[in-house]
Amino acid sequence: MNNLSKRSYIVAAVFAVVALIYAIDLFRLQVLDSDYKQYATNNVLREVVQYPARGLVYDRNGELLVYNKTAYDLMVTPREVEQFDTLLLCNLLDITRPDLEEGIAKAKKYSRYKPSVLIKQISPENFALLQEQLYKFKGFHSQTRTLREYTHPVAAHVLGYVGEVNANDIKRDKYYKSGDYIGQSGVERTYEKQLRGVKGVKKFMVDVHNRIQGSYLNGTEDKPAEIGKNLVSTIDIDLQLYAEKLFQNKKGAVVAIEPKTGEILAMLSAPTYDPGLLVGRVRGKNFSHLQNDTLMPLFDRSLQARYPPGSTFKPFNILIGLQEGAINTATRVVCNGKASSPIRCTHNHISPASVIDAVRESCNPFMWNTFRNTINKFPTTAEGFAVWSEYVKRFGLGQKVSAEFYNENPGLRPTVDYYNRKFEGDWWRALTVRSLAIGQGELGTTPLQMANLAAILANRGYYYQPHIIKEVENDTVRSSFSVKHETGIEDQYFEPVYEGMRQVTIARLNRSVPGISYCGKTGTIENNQGIDHGAYMAFAPAEDPKIALCVYVEHSKWGASYAAPIASLLIEKYLNDSIADNRLIYQKQMMEAVLTDPHNPELAD
């Protein structure tokens, strides 16, 4: 009896342990395992994500730039898939069997229980055929979302593009799931949270054949998607279009700013591309082609390229000298042209040169004299150079000038520590770094920073943070956009610089603008790998500036050859809305010039 009793206890204990194991496993599946819960729910319910339309983007005058079109995806939940006619499905989707198998394998890797994208962006024609046959494919369902469309094939770097999320995106923000889209560059990336909206969900009852039988609880548990917020950009699309026409077959950048606000009117990096190329099922192929292009169309020169400012920096060297008392309006400097030392002049001109003469003629000896006197008025080179470098910092160089651009290059502003490291403790002086006086050497700027320098001149000593978005629907723009940045240069010192720059603009018909007095400064930047680069900085009108801009053209030999005429045409287009008949010849020359070969550009006569 005792043995029988013991055996009964053992059997009962075994059954209890087995029951406990089953109970724990059931609890894990039903309570802890979210994937299983999803699968169980999917047997009677189908939750279909409602993707919101992304916000629209407009130009400063209300013209639509970016909108949406409907796209269709085929989703798959691997655990629900039963044997199906693969040939029929491939024919309906216009894909190969390996494509289908690869897609299902990828979906299984993501989750066997959760739906994920199998085939994205099905054509409307194929989608119509698929919908009629979809009931034959258990575990598959369609999903509607939107893709970007563009009213003009321009402003690719400004607007940016949207792409599929990766694992890091999903880890960083739980809002995203596999197959979702996210802004990856430009405005699309910077304003992703405003543009993306909020996803919704619809719940449907389905039968054993995966066919929808109706809304769950009459739709009371549905959550509508919230569309993204619309953006009004600062871009003037007419000016942007014109800039891109002028920059055909060229390398370089244009940035134009409204100086009183910091609003960017046009921003171009060339070569560029049609933003529509990075939309749809051909996106991957097109992206690879653009990425492998030796002209680097994906590289945003307006924000990321770092160039020496060259002679466009000379007005600022003079302003520092005037403010520090190193020179004054009565200062005259003898220039011996190409015989000058330690920095020679590129051409002969009036001598001795005044401040106005020096700006107009871009006199290197005057700039060197000003730079040396500024530094040498202090007890040590380090003290003097620190003062000079601080002014350069106030001009927005060596730092990001806008919080809006995630990929902005801060450029390079040499400091005392920088040169101490470079020369490894050896003694250095103004003569050692004299190339800074003419905007060369270690000074590096982006086209955005150079346009901001033009805005500083236009405003007589201050700037607002350059930015690309003017309004966000039902929201506010960054408060930093309205902060006034002072440079410490007094108003009185701008007048002689203005006059010198004004005289630059009337020297040739290809840079003068009918009916408009404006200020400009050419720059030629040495290039050790081919023909020199050309730059031009300007603002207009001189009396009440409405536009400040920088034009940078690689391999154009001189700033006066292409950068200056292009800038003058942009000013004329923006302020006069048309180009005068006697200047159409310059427009034609600029549009037809081919400058993409650094060693053999087709330079105009």
Helix axes 314-324, 381-394, angle to 10 degrees: 120
Q: Are 540 and 575 in contact (CB under 8 A)?
A: yes
Instruction: Confirm whether pTM is higher than 0.75.
Output: yes
pLDDT at 30: 52
- The beta-carbon contacts of 600-604 under 8 Å, at least 24 apart in sequence, are 601/531, 601/555, 601/556, 601/557, 603/556, 603/557, 603/561, 604/561, 604/562
For residues 150 and 241, give the distance between their C-alpha atoms in angstroms, rounded to a whole number: 13
For residues 563 and 445, give the distance between their C-alpha atoms in angstroms, rounded to a whole number: 16
Copy the structure tokens of residue 181.
């889209």
**Position 36 confidence tier, pLDDT thresholds 50, 70, 90:** very low
Q: 133-137, 210-214, 445-449, 559-563 — which is least confidently predicted?
A: 210-214
% pLDDT > 70, the chain? 91
Half-sphere exposure of 561 (CA within 13 A, CB side): 21
pLDDT, average across residues 103-121: 87
Whose CA is closest to 319, among 521, 514, 45? 521
Is residue 226's pLDDT more than 80?
yes
Residue 251: partners with Cβ closer than 8 Å, 6 or more residues away: 270, 271, 295, 301, 553, 554, 555, 595, 596
pLDDT at 223: 93
**Position 32 confidence tier, pLDDT thresholds 50, 70, 90:** very low
Give the pairing of strands 212-215 and 484-486: unpaired
pLDDT, average across residues 256-270: 98
Output the CA–CA distances (angstroms, integers) from residue 297 to 112, 282, 302, 306, in the order listed.
40, 17, 12, 16
* DSSP summary character for residue 401: S
Whose CA is closest to 198, among 75, 53, 47, 48? 53
Q: 20-34, 317-331, 377-391 — which is least confidently predicted?
A: 20-34
Is residue 455's pLDDT more than 80?
yes
Is residue 63's pLDDT more than 90?
yes
Mean pLDDT, rounded, of the chain = 90
pLDDT at 504: 92
Copy the structure tokens of residue 389.
């470098």
Q: Where are the alpha helices (DSSP H) in 480-583?
A: 494-505, 564-576
Q: Are 79 and 112 in contact (CB under 8 A)?
A: yes
Taken in order of first residue, the domains within the chain and their CATH numbers are 45-206+214-233 (3.90.1310.10), 237-472+485-592 (3.40.710.10)
pLDDT digits 0-9 by tens, 472-505: 999 988 999 999 999 999 999 999 999 999 999 9
Is residue 244's pLDDT more than 90?
yes
**Position 38 confidence tier, pLDDT thresholds 50, 70, 90:** low
